[in-house]
């Protein structure tokens, strides 16, 4: 179903990236982007955001998953189980990511006070600096992505996004998301 949408997404992403000075343009499908259906629009927007996130991660010598880990840890130490839930993986799968972050000196594991079996992950000073720098650049890039919107358009976009996120989080507790 999304095969043609995926092709259009790639072409639109490349054309949008070129317009923003991020690479060569490819052929645009000629589709009136204001007439996108919800699925196509969200798939294209997701592609744009993921592509931008990957480029910024690479500039900071991080993988997108490492960048996400650092940003999650900016809010303070997190337990391995909590991180595994956040990333949607088993704790065992998170171990490799944490190992690589520790080897690079970006994070460290330590025991959770009062629970001998549990570990928490904390940013090191170098990890905190890397997370702050990455977060600042990705925030600037995302702001550029929505810069074509009018102030009212931006306000509506942010409101709609917040509604969707809130509903999905609430639905996930009910087993729907």
Q: Over its length of 177 residues, how does the chain's per-residue pLDDT go in tens digits?
A: 333 344 444 444 444 443 444 443 333 444 555 577 999 999 999 999 999 999 999 999 999 999 999 999 999 999 998 999 889 888 888 999 999 999 999 999 999 888 888 999 999 999 999 999 999 999 999 999 999 999 999 999 999 999 999 998 888 766 544
Residues 124 and 162 in one domain: no
Question: Which helix (H) or strand (E) covers residue 79, if one does?
Answer: strand 78-79
Query: What is the phi/psi pair of residue 36, to 5°?
Result: -65, 145
Structural domain of residue 162, as residue ranges?
146-177
Q: What is the pLDDT of residue 174?
A: 63
Q: Does the pTM of the predicted model rise above 0.75?
A: no
Residues 43 and 109 in one domain: no
Count of the separate structural domains present in the chain: 3
The DSSP annotation for 93-128 comes to: HHHHHHHHHHHTTSEEEEEETTEEEEEEEEE-HHHH
CATH number reported for the structural domain that contains residue 125 in this entry: 1.10.10.10
């Amino acid at each position: 179903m999304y095969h043609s949408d995926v092709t259009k997404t790639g072409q639109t992403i490349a054309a949008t990236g070129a317009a923003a000075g991020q690479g060569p343009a490819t052929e645009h499908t000629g589709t009136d982007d204001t007439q996108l259906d919800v699925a196509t629009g969200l798939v294209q927007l997701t592609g744009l955001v993921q592509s931008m996130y990957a480029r910024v991660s690479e500039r900071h010598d991080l993988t997108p998953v490492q960048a996400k880990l650092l940003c999650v840890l900016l809010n303070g130490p997190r337990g391995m189980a909590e991180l595994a839930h956040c990333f949607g993986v088993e704790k065992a799968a998170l171990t490799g990511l944490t190992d690589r972050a520790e080897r690079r000196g970006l994070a460290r594991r330590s025991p959770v006070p009062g629970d001998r079996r549990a570990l928490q992950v904390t940013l090191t000073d170098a990890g905190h600096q890397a997370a702050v720098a990455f977060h600042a650049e990705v925030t600037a890039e995302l702001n550029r992505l929505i810069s074509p919107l009018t102030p009212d358009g931006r306000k509506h976009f942010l409101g709609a996004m917040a509604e969707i996120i809130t509903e999905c989080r609430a639905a996930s507790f009910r087993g729907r998301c």
